[in-house]
Every structure is written in structure tokens, then in C-alpha cells.
């Protein structure tokens, strides 16, 4: 089997900031251990520090979701918040006070109010991880194998696992690298274990793109009215 390899080498500066979590399954353990071995070989070529590689083991592919979510919460889970809330808009007030005739009954008014909403701690929520200028760059590499069987179980399982990992990858701000094989046979799976070398590189490449995006200049806010430009028709 011939597959195209990922031609990419991360910079030494990027390598220093990454922390890698290798999450593999006990199902098809020899296979997933071989994936880890290939991943570590590629990391050694990059002189990646061994103390920044964490190997975690779960039962099967479905449990990868639990472990990946727990890792993400270490970086993206925030406890408590302070938020300034402003309320402004039309409202209708009904008063039972004795007022002059022209104020009696219902009348339209405008409500302007501002208050501080604060939680001391027990409330928690996910906030996409932003590392800052020198912050750590976590990567989660999930390794497993969902083998085709005599029933449709593999399809349902693969769909659930891949969709949820994709959602976590989208929302958490931490790259979740998909290293879950979905072959028809174990022979096909063993032919693909070396791809773990490229999956490792995918994590570095993901952060390189994120950092490049963060450095891009930001244009005008999309909520700003174009009529603020005096050269446009209708501008005051």
C-alpha cells in the first residue's frame, strides 16, 4: 500500500511550546501500541522532550471521547465569571401611582440599566483555549481502531466517535487529531499504523496555522455601519 506522507517540519520554537497527549485504546492493543511507537519515533526526530508526552489508555474508541474531553477541560474549563450586563430598549410601564391625567394608564418609556453579573466559583463552562503569546500549546492525538464486523455496529460507533471528536476539535480551541482507523480487516489496519508519524505532525501544523491567524490584522467590526464613511451615499 502506498500513501502520501505529510511533508512538514515544525520550527524549533513551536516544538518547545507543544504538549502532546497520546490517547490510545486497549482494544487492538498491539495495533495502538505500534501507533504510539511510530508517533514517538517522529517526536524523537524533532528532539521533542519526553516529559511533555503523556500516554493515556482507555478501553475502546467510544471512551476516547471521555478522555479527550477531560484533557480539553484542563485548558478550556473556566470557573466563575464577572460580566458587565447592560440593558437598553423600549418597554411599557404600568403605574398605579396617582399621576397627572396625561401620565395615567400605560405609557411608553425607555429602559436603561446596567449591573454586574458575578459568579464566585461553582458555575463552570467551556471557553475556547487561547494560549497567549508564550502559553502552552496542547495537542490531543486519539489512537484506535474500529474494525468492520458482522453487523452494522462499526458504522454507528465510528460515526458517533468521529462526529464528537470533530465537534470537540471545533469548539475547544485545542487540536484534536483523529488517529482512529476504520478498516475492513486487521491487515488493512496494520498497513496504516505508520501514519501515526504524520498525525503527530498534524498537531504541530494545526497550531502553526492558529498562531498565524492570531497574528493577522483585524479589519473594521462587521457591526459598524458603512454609513459612517462620509464618502458613501447617505452619510451625514
CB-count exposure of residue 46 (10 Å: 0-12, 13-18, 19+): middle
Query: All domains of the chain, ordered by start, with CATH?
Result: 12-76+125-214 (3.40.50.960), 83-123 (no CATH)
Query: Which residues are bridge partners to 84 per DSSP?
Result: 116
Kindly write down the DSSP assignment for every residue of 95-117, as one continuous string: --S---GGGSSEEEEEEEEEEEE
Distance of CA 224 to the CA centre of its chain: 29
- What pLDDT does residue 88 have? 62
- What pLDDT does residue 127 have? 84
- What pLDDT does residue 153 have? 93
Q: How far apart are the first and last CA of the chain?
A: 68
- What pLDDT does residue 235 have? 47
Can you state the angle between helices 196-214 and 29-45, rounded to 10 degrees? 50
Between CA 23 and CA 144 the distance in angstroms is: 8
- What pLDDT does residue 184 have? 96
Residue numbers annotated as active site: 153
- What pLDDT does residue 101 have? 56
If you count them, how many residues does the chain have?
236
- What pLDDT does residue 114 have? 67
- What pLDDT does residue 126 have? 75
* pLDDT tens series, the chain, 236 aa: 657 789 999 999 999 999 999 999 999 999 999 999 999 999 999 999 999 999 999 999 999 999 999 999 999 876 665 666 666 666 555 555 555 555 555 555 555 666 666 665 556 677 899 998 889 999 999 999 999 999 999 999 999 999 999 999 999 999 999 999 999 999 999 999 999 999 999 999 999 999 999 999 987 665 555 544 555 444 44
Amino acid at each position: 500500500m502506498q500513501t502520501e506522507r505529510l511533508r512538514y517540519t515544525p520550527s524549533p520554537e513551536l516544538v518547545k511550546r507543544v504538549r502532546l497527549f497520546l490517547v490510545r485504546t486497549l482494544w487492538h492493543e498491539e495495533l495502538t501500541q505500534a501507533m504510539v511507537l511510530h508517533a514517538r519515533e517522529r517526536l524523537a526526530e524533532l528532539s521533542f522532550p519526553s516529559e511533555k508526552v503523556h500516554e493515556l489508555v482507555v478501553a475502546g474508541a467510544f471512551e476516547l471521547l471521555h478522555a479527550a474531553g477531560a484533557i480539553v477541560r484542563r485548558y478550556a474549563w473556566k470557573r466563575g465569571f464577572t460580566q458587565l450586563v447592560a440593558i437598553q430598549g423600549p418597554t411599557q410601564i404600568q403605574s398605579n401611582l396617582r399621576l397627572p391625567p396625561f401620565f395615567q394608564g400605560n405609557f411608553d418609556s425607555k429602559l436603561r440599566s446596567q449591573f454586574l453579573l458575578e459568579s464566585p466559583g461553582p458555575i463552570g463552562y467551556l471557553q475556547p483555549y487561547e494560549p497567549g503569546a508564550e502559553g502552552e500549546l496542547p495537542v490531543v492525538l486519539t489512537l484506535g481502531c474500529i474494525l468492520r464486523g458482522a453487523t452494522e455496529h462499526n458504522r454507528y460507533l465510528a460515526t458517533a466517535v468521529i462526529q464528537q471528536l470533530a465537534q470537540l476539535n471545533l469548539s475547544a480551541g485545542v487540536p484534536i487529531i483523529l488517529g482512529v482507523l476504520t478498516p475492513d480487516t486487521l491487515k488493512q489496519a496494520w498497513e496504516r499504523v505508520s501514519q501515526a508519524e504524520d498525525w503527530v505532525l498534524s498537531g504541530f501544523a494545526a497550531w502553526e496555522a492558529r498562531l498565524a491567524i492570531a497574528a493577522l490584522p483585524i479589519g473594521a467590526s462587521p457591526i459598524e455601519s458603512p454609513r459612517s464613511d462620509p464618502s458613501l451615499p447617505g452619510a451625514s
